[in-house]
Amino acid sequence: MKCIICDSENTAKSIEHIVPESFGNKKYLMERSAICDNCNSRFSKFESKALSNSIFAVERARLAVPTKKGKNVKGKIGKFNVEGDKEFRKQHITLKGLEQKDLKNYGPERGTHQIRFESFDKSEVATSRFLLMLGIESIYTSKNEIYEKYDFSELKDYLTNKSNKDWGFITNQKNPLLFKNVTQGKMNKYLRSINCELKYNDEYETFISFQIRRCWNDN
């Protein structure tokens, strides 16, 4: 079978999870060989960066989502080390590397501070690649007619590092109602059970946008 990203003929050994296992997904998978082992290992590099060195690390720790190996989340964002609770209690995050000057706006009535995380470092590039990968894989798997309709070569070049241009990945929602579910039926129900919705919008004919809403297990 041909890899959907790099077009190489392959007999991949590994199975690609469209939504990462670290978000609780065990069922929404790529067909074996749809993604070659080369692409898969390239993806896993930016995926683990996106999951451990971006805001996803904080959210996974906050919601006590276990890692693929069943351990508590560990991540690093800027100078902070983020760690989820070992007993998987929600809302328990350990932050190491905090200094007095990182604490802002003390609220005496609740005893709370705000902490400022560094942002827009290179982990955001990993996050952008990760979200776009999720988009193209879910479109290929669940909406193949859409995958056939568009030319995804620019996106594929971006995902295979052929192009070094950074892509933006967050936008305000202009028309939330125009987004349609990528998945259908059983898979829709399953993804909703792990708090994940994958949507697409193809109203503009020349490009397609993806929307990913909360993708982790917080039962």
Q: Which residue ranges make up the site for Zn ion (CB under 5 A)?
A: 3, 5-6, 36, 39
In 3D space, the residue among 159, 134, 144 whose CA is nearest the CA of residue 210 turns out to be 134
Q: How far is the CB of 2 from Zn ion (least distance, A)?
A: 9
Nearer Cβ to Zn ion (36/139)? 36
The minimum distance between CB 137 and Zn ion, in angstroms, equals 12
Residue 156 tokens, joined: 């594929």
| Closest CB 43 distance from Zn ion, rounded Å | 9
Closer to Zn ion at the Cβ: 155 or 196? 155
The pair phi, psi for residue 185, each rounded to 5°, is: 55, -125
**Residue spans of beta strands (DSSP E) within 133-176:** none
Please identify, using beta-carbon distances, which residue of 12 and 187 lies nearer to Zn ion. 12
Nearer to Zn ion, 1 or 178 (CB): 1
N-terminal to C-terminal alpha carbon distance within the chain: 37
Task: Give SS3 for 42.
Answer: helix
CB 4, min distance to Zn ion, A: 8
Q: CA 50 → CA 68, 172, 216, distances in Å?
A: 15, 21, 14
